[in-house]
Amino acid sequence: SYELTQPPSVSVSPGQTAKITCSGDALARQHGYWYQQKPGQAPVLVIYKESDRPSGIPERFSGSRSGTTVTLIISGVQAEDEADYYCQSVDSDATIVFGGGTKVTVL
Amino acid sequence: QVQLQESGPGLVKPSQTLSLTCTVSGDSVSSYSYYWNWIRQPAGKGLEWVGRIYTSGTTNSNPSLKSRVSLSLDTARNQLSLQLTSVTAADTAIYFCAASAVNLGQYFFLHWGQGTLLTVSS
């Protein structure tokens, strides 16, 4: 199976833009997904298929892909966005893989 | 809206088999609309996909766990179940069940349960 690599942490001031990257060879041909997880809670899907946003997710959450890297972008960061964020994709044999997670701290 | 609720024994002894159940509401586990998944998370660590099952009985599981994982559906109780054999302390984690929508792409998780903590200890 393959790996997805995320930075362990990202710090951002309120109102600024946070960008979280996720890299892996399979992302060149497989979709990437993003989840937000707050302490003690289940993950919540915030972006699917690189850039689609589920119903109920604020517009400040967006995503993109370039080559083997997908990026989650949080524009106008709010204090409530402080959380762990995980990327996810799928291997060629249908094995689902998560990145190691990125802790977003709002300063 | 699909809702999921995990349940389990809380504590299992090493070398034993853990059994977890997820009760589904809002849709049927017999539905062709969803794949039903298990995902786990050790305390303070990241997410690990365990496996999934479809109404047809088709299953996929993480190669790192494949030989120890058994997945099943109970249509009468509208539940999915996970059995993991020969557990060790490394299997201590919060276990989530989650649903993947077939029509949106079956490889991501739209609905999640709240999770159940499973501790392996003697």
Summarize pLDDT for B18-40 with one digit per residue, the tens: 999 999 999 999 999 999 999 99
Residues of A in contact with B49 (CB under 8 A): 95-98
Q: A12 vs A93, which has greater pLDDT?
A: A12
Residue B78 falls in which region: left (phi positive, over 0), alpha (psi -120 to 50) or beta: left
Shortest CA gap A92–chain B (Å): 12
pLDDT for residue B104 is more than 90: no
Tokens of A12: 């951002």
Q: For residue B4, give the amino acid letter.
A: L
Query: Does B46 contact A43 at a Cβ distance shorter than 8 Å?
Result: no
Residues of B in contact with A97 (CB under 8 A): 49
Mean pLDDT of chain A: 96
- Interface of chain B against chain A, CB under 8 Å? 37, 46-49, 52, 60, 62-64, 96, 104-105, 107-110, 112-115
Q: Could you list the beta-strand ranges (E) of B26-64.
A: 34-41, 48-53, 59-61
Predicted confidence (pLDDT) per residue in A9-41, tens digit: 999 999 999 999 999 998 999 999 999 999 999
**A1–B contact, CB cutoff 8 A:** yes
Please give the Cα distance from A87 to A68 (Å, whole number): 13
Predicted confidence (pLDDT) per residue in B48-96, tens digit: 999 999 999 999 999 999 799 999 999 999 999 999 999 999 999 999 9
Spatial CB neighbours of A40, under 8 Å, sequence gap ≥ 6: none
Please give the Cα distance from A55 to A45 (Å, whole number): 10
Span B5-9, mean pLDDT? 97
pLDDT for residue A47 is more than 70: yes
Give the pLDDT band of residue A69 (cuts 50, 70, 90).
very high
Q: How far is CA A6 from CA A47, A88, B57, B109, in A?
A: 16, 11, 34, 19
For residue A93, what pLDDT is reported?
A: 86
Span A69-86, mean pLDDT? 98
Burial (CB count <10 Å: 0-12, 13-18, 19+), residue B76 = exposed
For residue B76, what pLDDT is reported?
A: 97
For residue B103, what pLDDT is reported?
A: 85
Spatial CB neighbours of A29, under 8 Å, sequence gap ≥ 6: none
Among candidates B26, B81, B28, which has minimal Cα distance to B52? B81
Tokens of B86: 């020969």
Among A94, A95, A98, whose Cβ lies nearest the Cβ of B47?
A98
Give the pLDDT band of residue A92 (cuts 50, 70, 90).
confident
Tokens of B113: 């349960």
Give the pLDDT band of residue A1 (cuts 50, 70, 90).
low
Calculated CA dihedral for residues B103, B108, B114, B120, nearest 10 degrees: 130
Residues of A in contact with B37 (CB under 8 A): 96
| DSSP H or E segment with residue A21 | strand A18-23
Judge contact between A101 and A4, C-beta under 8 A: no
